[in-house]
Amino acid sequence: MRAVMSRVAQSLLVVIVATTLNFALPHLAPGDPVEYLYQGSAGSLTAEQLDDLRAGYGLDASLPEQYVAYWGGLFRGDLGVSVQHNRPVVDVLLERLPWTLLLVGTSTVIAAIVGTLAGAFAAWRRGSRGDVGLVTGVLVVDAMPGFWIGMVLVAVFAVQLGWFPSFGAAALGGPTAGWAAVAAVAHRLVLPMTTLVLATVGGTFLLARGAMSTTLGETWLAMARAKGVPPRRLATHHALRNALLPVATTLGLNVAVMLSGAVVIETVFAYPGLGSLVYDATIARDYPLLRGAFLLVTLGVVATNALVELAYPLLDPRVRRTGRGRS
């Protein structure tokens, strides 16, 4: 129970810091906060109009009052109004969220599975040609910027070969319901997802490879072998099952990496998720939208991290009892 409480406290702390940072940014940045809240066109306004604006945004109140008001707004789901879309930020975000969930969700699952299995395989065959090839490949792919991988994939597989559409998440004017629509969405998901998986799988691979190497050196694995357990069962039931533990603890962190990658990769594919929204907001200097997106992404990362950590005892019996082995 204490572990859970401390985990929740840690998550809350992160959220509070992120929120406070979000609140403070317009005040810390050079220039009048109104500039940031009113899309840089405040210079063309008269002094009275500026005062009206300040009053409208509550900027005439003292900082602590503004801070309290900011939190109040958050609890009411009020993140301000997007300058670019001229709609509440929350509405814009929620509209884009499903696509990012789809892209990041599928990529996280696939990267976790592929990375773990490939890493375990490399460790099992450590030093073999397959291992060396995989490690080299991961090092090289890890050195490439994710968005560049995306651009090259588009150039090759969408433009040159024409196998996949080069942009968007759903075909315009295509089927909107039924399996045809699902197939169309899946078809357009392949390239961005492949890019995101390639750009992020290296960490999981190396971690799984290291964890698997460690378990392969354990006395209990040697004992299982001496019991006559066949190699395949040794690899899966014993070695991989244990190697999963350290890999699982980083799943939550992977989501943060994935979301970072999605920001730039969605842009390349014009995928209508939060990532391309952030890009557009960056270009348009839509400050309220940017702040809202940052807050939403942070909440998502913190929540996933907390969930993954709280679910960890399901995998590891050693921490299943209350408070045992966890700080």
Contacts (CB under 8 A) with another protein, residues 24-53: 25-26, 28-30, 36
Nearer to another protein, 10 or 106 (CB): 10
310 makes contact with another protein (CB under 8 A): no
Among 4, 69, 170, 229, which residue sits at the site for another protein (rule: CB under 8 A)? 229
Applying CB under 8 A, the site for another protein has a residue count of 90
Nearer to another protein, 175 or 249 (CB): 249
Could you tell me the smallest distance in angstroms from the CB atom of residue 176 to another protein?
Answer: 26
Number of H helices, E strands in the chain: 14, 2
Other beta carbons within 10 Å of 246: 16
Nearer to another protein, 49 or 236 (CB): 236
Nearer to another protein, 92 or 123 (CB): 123
Could you tell me the smallest distance in angstroms from the CB atom of residue 225 to another protein?
Answer: 6
Q: Are 309 and 249 in contact (CB under 8 A)?
A: yes
139 makes contact with another protein (CB under 8 A): yes
Burial of 175 (0-12, 13-18, 19+ CB in 10 A): middle
Site for another protein in 249-288 (CB under 8 A): 253, 256-257, 259-261, 263-264, 267-268, 278-279, 282-283, 285, 287
Distances (CA, A) of 24 to 17, 36, 72, 88: 10, 12, 15, 20
Stretch that binds another protein, among 55-63, 145-153, 174-182, 186-194 (CB under 8 A): 145-153
Q: What is the chain's alpha carbon radius of gyration, rounded to the nearest angstrom?
A: 24
234 makes contact with another protein (CB under 8 A): yes
Backbone angles phi, psi at 87, to 5 degrees: -140, 160
Could you tell me the smallest distance in angstroms from the CB atom of residue 105 to another protein?
Answer: 16
13 makes contact with another protein (CB under 8 A): yes
How far apart are the C-alpha atoms of 209 and 24, rounded to whole Å? Answer: 42
Tokens of residue 170, six digits:
């759903």
64 makes contact with another protein (CB under 8 A): no
Q: Are 107 and 258 in contact (CB under 8 A)?
A: yes
What DSSP character marks residue 88? E
144 makes contact with another protein (CB under 8 A): yes
Could you tell me the smallest distance in angstroms from the CB atom of residue 267 to another protein?
Answer: 7
Site for another protein in 146-185 (CB under 8 A): 146-148, 151-152, 154-155, 159, 166
Give buried/exposed letters for 141-173 (b at 16+ CB in 10 A, else e).
beeeebbebbeebbeebbeeeeebbbbbbbbee
Could you tell me the smallest distance in angstroms from the CB atom of residue 182 to another protein?
Answer: 27
Closest listed residue to residue 281, CA positions, set 6, 89, 61? 89
At residue 260, the 3 state secondary structure works out as helix
